[in-house]
Structure 1
Amino acid sequence: MHNHDPQFSVIGGDYIQTLLSNSTVDIINIVEHCYLLHHSGNTVNPDSYFLKFDDKPEARIIALPTAIRDENNGSSFSGIKWIASYPRNIDANLQRASAVIVLNDYQTGYPFACLEASQISAARTAASAVLAASQLGPQNRRAARLGIIGGGLIASTILKFFKAHGWQFEDVCLYDISAQHCEKFVRNVNARSIYPVRPGSQDEALSADIVVLATTAGSPWIPATHNFVQSQLVLNISLRDLPPETILACNNILDDVDHCMKANTSPHLAEQQYGHRDFISGTLAEFILGQARIDTGKPTIFSPFGLGVLDLGVAMFIYQKSQLAGARHAIPGFFSTTRRWTD
């Protein structure tokens, strides 16, 4: 998108919420496409950068810069997600995460849009979880029980994406360390008629056919003595709930190996403890392409570190839709001048 007269616009959360709610299958397809682009070397996805605070160690703001070269679709663009995670927000009935994404012109570097991005982040995370379940789990998209641990926005968004993708569950249970948060989650989700969800015990959730880990835990808390069974799929969205012993005993599919093996994620802790990466089965893109296989005699864990290319791909989809819908808010005069010389 080379623009000789750069313009800047803002796309707000209300429009994004409506569009995402009607585009869940599109988002899953975009996430799969971005994974394959990343695997083929058509992305730039450097390490995330963490801003932390001495006086509030639980909080952080993360920068995820990235670029996509999608030559088959004639589209190249770059950008950055700037996402704050403040777990104490939930005590004041605020969402834990807030975010923006800035999109940049690939040729000139000029930013051309800013989007509210907490919903984008939640949607791409949910889409990656459901994509992984569809690839690694039962092919008929049916399971007896779905167990969710951690009752927050990510978990509810994953439920919505499961529903939109046609998944059927006989039982959906939620466990949260806070009984109050569990009750509120169940009440709000059931009011939206996604799936009938009930409160469950930790053991019930961990024994489900598909287990979703969506907590804010900073270190492993699931006992090393807990053994998943061979048919179980664990969607390790929060990344740090599982001890190294569990990782070693399972198939491990990641979104990106080098990205995931840092910041004391569960796979990273396993690498530190055992001194190798032999427990890694491959990436989701490799599995989709038939380049990685799993041992059907073991449980399978999907651990997505969260690639900025997914956020960027979804953000560009929203930007293009907003152009057609006239939903962008142009900011005239955002660039006071873009000409190097006036004559």
Structure 2
Amino acid sequence: MTGRLLVVDPAAVDKILDTSPARVVDAVRTAYRLHDEAQTVVPHSTFLRFPDDTVNRIIGLPAYVGGQVRAAGMKWIASFPGNIAAGLPRASASIVLNSMETGRPTALLDGARVSAHRTAASAALAARVLTAGEPDGIALAGCGVINLEVLRYVRHLLPSVRDVTLYDSDPQRAAAFAARVPDGVTARVARGLDEALAAHRLVSFATNAGTPHTGLDACGPGTVVLHVSLRDLHPEALLAARNVVDDPDHVDRENTSVHLASRRVGHRDFLHATIGGLLNGRTALGPAEQPTVFSPFGLGALDIAVAEMVREEAERTGLGQSVPW
């Protein structure tokens, strides 16, 4: 029996995602809520690493999302940081979706953009949930693709954000980033990381850091830190903060800052809530003087939920190419 496979190329994926930030946020919010309700299946990510290579890796994230989504598939994403110096994107990925009736593959789409958008949307959603009032600015540590999308999605959910302070270990990347910020946003480049951390009460880390390199002493009271890259913060900083994660079991591994902190103290009592629990109203967090850190491991359920939205839109608009399979 021959079936059909919908192939959605990077340009088509970009077109759908760039014009649908509200739908991306809705897909991420739905996936988090379903995960909190035990209506997802998210095995631990598989990390493919290579002999004598501590930098490059390829990660497999299979997942099922139930409820109204009812989709299954896998993201296969490569992270090769050396690409940046060669003028290539650090990450490249593909996502395959499978039929829930037959198990056959139904769609193949570019996954790097899905991954960037779902990561940014999840960070912005956490900022919306965790931030008190209407922040007027954000500090971005790491001036790459992910933080550019974080800024875009934060602006979508928190339009009061009009000022951005940038820091990157490569000042030229920070300067280039400043020239790309959206209209209506004023950007400045900080001279050091601590200057950036002190500039605003909302911070996003999206770097290539493999080991912790900073604390949060420079942050003002009540700062919300979107710890997207997971390995920037010293364990002591997390132990002194209020911590929100997407899934305790997933984030407490692979030498993340959460993993290092839990090994240091032998427990996870420093994790105060999950984003799904907050979205579903099962838990609540009041005001706090210490920083609140959101550490999202990046659940495959988010990729599948967003990819399913992209598949539906590609079919509706004819942006995908259907081929025999």
In which range does the TM-score fall when normalised by the shorter chain? over 0.9
| 2:318 paired residue number | 326
Pick from 100, 112, 119 the counterpart of residue 125 of structure 1: 119
Opposite residue 198 of structure 1, the aligned amino acid is R
Give me the whole-angstrom Cα distance separating, in 2, the residues matched to 1:45 and 1:124: 16
Opposite residue 85 of structure 2, the aligned amino acid is D
Pick from 153, 175, 180 the counterpart of residue 183 of structure 1: 175
Pick from 91, 101, 108 the counterpart of residue 85 of structure 2: 91
Instruction: Give SS of 1:290's match.
Output: coil
Q: How many residues align?
A: 322
Residue pair 2:73, 2:96 contacting (<8 A) in 1 also: yes
Q: Does 1:31 align with 2:28?
A: yes
Give me the whole-angstrom Cα distance separating, in 2, the residues matched to 1:170 and 1:30: 26
Give me the whole-angstrom Cα distance separating, in 2, the residues matched to 1:163 and 1:95: 24
Opposite residue 234 of structure 1, the aligned amino acid is V
Give me the whole-angstrom Cα distance separating, in 2, the residues matched to 1:304 and 1:16: 23
Q: TM-score, normalised by structure 2?
A: 0.95
Deviations 1:297-333, CA, capped at 9 Å, x for gaps: 322000000000000000000101111111111122x
Pick from 139, 144, 163 the counterpart of residue 152 of structure 1: 144
Instruction: Give SS of 2:109's match.
Output: strand
Pick from 269, 277, 286 the counterpart of residue 277 of structure 2: 286
Opposite residue 286 of structure 1, the aligned amino acid is G
**Which structure's CA Rg is the greater one?**
1
Q: Does 1:247 align with 2:214?
A: no
Query: Which has the larger displacement, 160-169 or 262-271?
Result: 160-169
CA-based RMSD = 1.6
Residue pair 1:24, 1:161 contacting (<8 A) in 2 also: yes
Opposite residue 180 of structure 1, the aligned amino acid is Q
Deviation at 1:94, TM superposition (A): 0.6
Q: TM-score, normalised by structure 1?
A: 0.90
Q: Does 1:48 align with 2:45?
A: yes
Deviations 1:32-69, CA, capped at 9 Å, x for gaps: 11001111111110000011112432110000001112
Unaligned runs of 5+ in 1: 335-343
Give me the whole-angstrom Cα distance separating, in 1, the residues matched to 2:183 and 2:126: 24
Paired residues for 1:99-118 under 5 Å: 99-118=93-112
Distance 1:155 1:194, change over 3 A: farther
| 2:74 paired residue number | 80
Deviation at 1:167, TM superposition (A): 2.2
Residue pair 1:251, 1:294 contacting (<8 A) in 2 also: no
Distance 1:194 1:136, change over 3 A: same
Q: Does 1:312 align with 2:312?
A: no
Opposite residue 30 of structure 2, the aligned amino acid is H
Instruction: Give SS of 1:132's match.
Output: helix
Q: Which runs of 4+ in 1 moved over 6 A?
A: none
Q: Does 1:64 align with 2:85?
A: no
| 1:14 paired residue number | 11
Give me the whole-angstrom Cα distance separating, in 2, the residues matched to 1:276 and 1:324: 48
Opposite residue 151 of structure 1, the aligned amino acid is C
Paired residues for 1:181-260 under 5 Å: 181-187=173-179, 189-190=180-181, 192-193=182-183, 195-201=185-191, 202-207=193-198, 208-223=200-215, 226=217, 228-260=219-251
Residue pair 1:85, 1:98 contacting (<8 A) in 2 also: yes
Give me the whole-angstrom Cα distance separating, in 1, the residues matched to 2:26 and 2:86: 35
Instruction: Give SS of 2:254's match.
Output: coil
Deviation at 1:249, TM superposition (A): 0.8
Residue pair 1:172, 1:198 contacting (<8 A) in 2 also: yes
Deviations 1:155-201, CA, capped at 9 Å, x for gaps: 001111122224223521110001121122112x14x5262222113
Greater RCO (CA < 8 Å, at least 6 residues apart): 2
Opposite residue 99 of structure 1, the aligned amino acid is A
Residue pair 1:103, 1:111 contacting (<8 A) in 2 also: yes
Opposite residue 102 of structure 2, the aligned amino acid is T
Give me the whole-angstrom Cα distance separating, in 1, the residues matched to 2:158 and 2:219: 25
